[in-house]
Structure 1
Amino acid sequence: MTQALPLAGIRVVDYSHFLAGPYVGRCLAALGAEVIKVERPGSGDAGRQHAWILDDQQSGYYLQLNMGKQGVSVNMKDPRGKDFMQRLCDSADVFIENYRPGALDKLGLGYAELSARNPKLVYCSISAYGHTGPDSHRAGFGLIAEAKSGIMQMVGTPGEPPPLLRISLGDMYTGIHAVAAINAALLGRVASGRGQHIDMALYDTLVSMHEYAVQCYTLSGGQVVPEQTGHDMPTSTLYGVFRAADGDLVIAAQVDDSWKRFAALVAAHGGPAGFADDTRFHTLNGRNAHRLEILGVVKPWVAARQVAEVLALLDGVDVPAAKVQRIDEVLADPQIRARGMVVEQQHPRFGTLHLPNLPFRFSDCDTTVRQVAPDLGQHNAQVAEKLGFTAAEIAAMQADGVLFSA
């Protein structure tokens, strides 16, 4: 590794909480930025109280989302705290926040005030609905956006309420889009000399994810509304989840060539005679039209075998398939280990931690973060010193709780 990390020299103020904003800060830290996490005195980021909790003290959720950052805790109600924050933001390249629109204006931390002082600032806001539109004033979480976006309505078993997705799709997808937008704004700043306000909405980003549902509706003249389909995709036969004798697996034989190899395999291993030669199934439209007939063959064929046997057979004819894995199987997967997707960190109180890595892979630099998430106010003095506060001023602010530490 011979190059510096791409964002080395960029200072980021992370004034966010819970998930979407902190995830952006974590990504920027991994890419080399100096990320300063700012928290309220006392309880700090609300994510510190989110599961899993280690020894009734530390949140694994917080540890994962805030690794690689410096931590300060500032009382903005004290004029010295406001001065600290203004100096910090004046020195910053990027400011991240995920509060309801207008909330930070009351603290003097809105885009208009900060950019007037620091025109080069790239200011990224993340909210449920964005800073414009009739719902912009409303609070919301990823769950709200998932329900509103039409994504939740399409998953699950027909006739039953849709399930929770169990991953924070709205927050994470919005977060990584914010990372892309911030980097684009930083690049644009090279030519313009000015930063700008990036307005990210969870609802917007999830609507943007629809790779076919919107087209189905608009291009059909409003006739087709995608519905819950359960375990397979009626418009993409054969593509879905199947139950074997000892577990579940997915099969993706929806492409014509893959289908023909798959059908020949089924026919050669106990399937009905002529299954591979049935020309009705040789095109996607034909397979979709006869989907239930195909499923009537494939489901019992898979159910009669162990997962490992089905996967071995499908691998042998180059048909994409995979076991539906539990999280313990994922963490033990040699592919995940080979790709370094679990980062090991040494925590001063909790020993060795294993947390999900980010998927960034550069040929000439390593983005793996080894620095654990900060304790509340851990870097107050160091950051204050960088901002030009004297030792006496820092000591007084610490003694008075203007700079708070746990």
Structure 2
Amino acid sequence: MAAPLAGRRVLDLGALCAQRPHGLAASMAARLCASYGAEVVRPLPEGGEPLAQAAPLLPAGGSALDRFLNLGKQSGPATGRFDVAIGDDAALSAHAAGVPIRARISVFGPGEDPPMSELGLLALSGLLGIVGEAEGPPARLAGHQPAYAAGLAACTGILAALRAGGEEVVDVSLIDVATWLNWKVAAGVLVLGSSPVRGGARADWYTVPVKDGHVALVYQEKDWPGLRAVVGDARLEEERFSTAAGRRQHRVEFLAILGPWFLARTRAEVTAAAQSRRVPVGPVKWPAELLADAQNRARGFLGADGMPVLPIGWNGRRVTPEMTDAA
């Protein structure tokens, strides 16, 4: 199978966008197009690649973000024929005249594009309200999830427009995408009458320290008998711990009983013991460990150098680097 976008030319205006979320979203959409086999050209401003020194930095120098988002692209001027252009309104107006399909990134929609940071998107969408301890400050989500999701939305619209043919403007609102990511807020309001918030003392799930790191304990009420049996402490049989509400009410005492059992064991030992009772836990892994993770290896998610291999498909088959190389 040939790469689905082989022969298509895409103009990546992410480096020329006025705002960082827009630039990251456009860069991600173009990165996906490159993975589908398109020839992607990325014009740069006078100061050069804006992601060149963006965190996180690699041990040997350079930016991991730059390496990931610009893989398979070529820097160059916005000249020649392009099938697709991706950027904000100003960049598209200045550099994408005559391009039939344009993906336009904005904050609230066309004409509603005030200054906005990624942190602002997280706050406005409610995502900052559900992450972290209720007693402490909000915790920012790792990475660039709103911008990357907007890039995925833009690429999806681009693929549909290419399939339909003709001219098309694919409008992607960053706040719409971020709000969709936090769909539980809308569902919570509709079903419960209020939106979910950070649990803190009301939380049922915990990340607890173990001998060699941490594990995430994400059990549900049906798993409580199994967890109680795994830990094997008679104090957990007390009436005050028999319900989720009781365990929340006596959270400090509850965690004081669990803590020593977890600290005396490694992540592997805790995981094996919990799985023997079908209790869900998740070992928290160091970044270097993800390279050898069995799930990542089975899915082919990371290359030998740690570069993520985007799991994109076309007509029911996974698009591989070999297809795009052949194209």
**Matched letter for residue 39 of structure 1:** L
Match of 2:206 in 1: 240
Distance in 2, matches of 1:56 and 1:327, equals 16
Could you report, residue by residue, the CA deviation over 1:265-307 in whole angstroms, capped at 9, with x for unpaired residues? 34xx2344747xx8x96xxxx6356533577446622532323
Matched, 1:261 2:213: no
Match of 1:377 in 2: none
Q: TM-score, normalised by structure 1?
A: 0.67
Matched, 1:24 2:35: no
Matched, 1:227 2:190: no
Distance in 1, matches of 2:191 and 2:50, equals 44
Matched, 1:292 2:249: yes
Secondary structure of 2:258's counterpart equals helix
**Matching of residues 58-97 of structure 1 within 5 Å:** 58-73=62-77, 84=79, 88=80, 91-97=81-87
The share of aligned pairs that are identical, in percent, is: 27
Match of 1:311 in 2: 271
Structure 1 unpaired stretches of 5+: 75-83, 345-352, 373-406
- Shift in CA distance, 167/54, structure 1 to aligned 2, threshold 3 Å: closer
Structure 2 unpaired stretches of 5+: 16-22
Distance in 1, matches of 2:309 and 2:290, equals 13
Secondary structure of 1:172's counterpart equals helix
- Shift in CA distance, 53/301, structure 1 to aligned 2, threshold 3 Å: closer
Match of 2:216 in 1: 250
Match of 2:20 in 1: none
* Structure with larger RCO (C-alpha < 8 A, sep 6+): 1
- Shift in CA distance, 364/170, structure 1 to aligned 2, threshold 3 Å: closer
Q: Does the Cα contact within 8 Å between 1:13 and 1:96 map onto a contact in 2?
A: yes
Distance in 2, matches of 1:272 and 1:287, equals 16
Q: Choose the corresponding residue for 2:186, options 214, 229, 233.
A: 214
Q: Choose the corresponding residue for 1:321, options 273, 281, 301.
A: 281
Aligned residues: 314
Distance in 2, matches of 1:26 and 1:233, equals 41
Task: Give how far 1:29 is off.
Answer: 1.0
**Matched letter for residue 272 of structure 2:** A
Who wins on radius of gyration, i.e. which is larger? 1
- Shift in CA distance, 29/310, structure 1 to aligned 2, threshold 3 Å: same
**Matched letter for residue 60 of structure 1:** A
- Shift in CA distance, 311/293, structure 1 to aligned 2, threshold 3 Å: same
Q: Choose the corresponding residue for 1:122, options 98, 101, 126.
A: 101
Secondary structure of 2:307's counterpart equals strand
**Matching of residues 4-403 of structure 1 within 5 Å:** 4-17=2-15, 18-40=23-45, 42-52=46-56, 58-73=62-77, 84=79, 88=80, 91-97=81-87, 99=88, 101-102=89-90, 104-105=92-93, 107=94, 109=96, 114=97, 117=98, 121-132=100-111, 136-187=112-163, 189=164, 193-221=165-193, 224-230=194-200, 234=203, 237=204, 239-254=205-220, 256=222, 258-266=223-231, 269-272=232-235, 274=237, 287-288=244-245, 291-293=248-250, 296-297=253-254, 300-305=257-262, 306=265, 307-344=267-304, 354-360=306-312, 364=317, 366-368=319-321
Task: Give how far 1:259 is off.
Answer: 4.0
Q: Does the Cα contact within 8 Å between 1:343 and 1:370 map onto a contact in 2?
A: no
**Matched letter for residue 127 of structure 2:** I
- Shift in CA distance, 366/197, structure 1 to aligned 2, threshold 3 Å: closer
Distance in 1, matches of 2:291 and 2:237, equals 42
Distance in 1, matches of 2:206 and 2:125, equals 23
Distance in 2, matches of 1:226 and 1:157, equals 13
- Shift in CA distance, 274/196, structure 1 to aligned 2, threshold 3 Å: same
Distance in 2, matches of 1:50 and 1:143, equals 16
Distance in 1, matches of 2:143 and 2:235, equals 40
Task: Give how far 1:124 is off.
Answer: 0.6
Task: Give how far 1:57 is off.
Answer: 7.5
**Matched letter for residue 355 of structure 1:** M
Q: TM-score, normalised by structure 2?
A: 0.81
**Matched letter for residue 270 of structure 1:** D
Distance in 2, matches of 1:59 and 1:298, equals 40
Distance in 1, matches of 2:319 and 2:57, equals 29
Distance in 2, matches of 1:53 and 1:301, equals 38
Secondary structure of 2:43's counterpart equals strand
- Shift in CA distance, 290/138, structure 1 to aligned 2, threshold 3 Å: same
Task: Give how far 1:25 is off.
Answer: 1.1
Q: Does the Cα contact within 8 Å between 1:68 and 1:370 map onto a contact in 2?
A: no
Secondary structure of 1:43's counterpart equals coil
**Matched letter for residue 160 of structure 1:** G
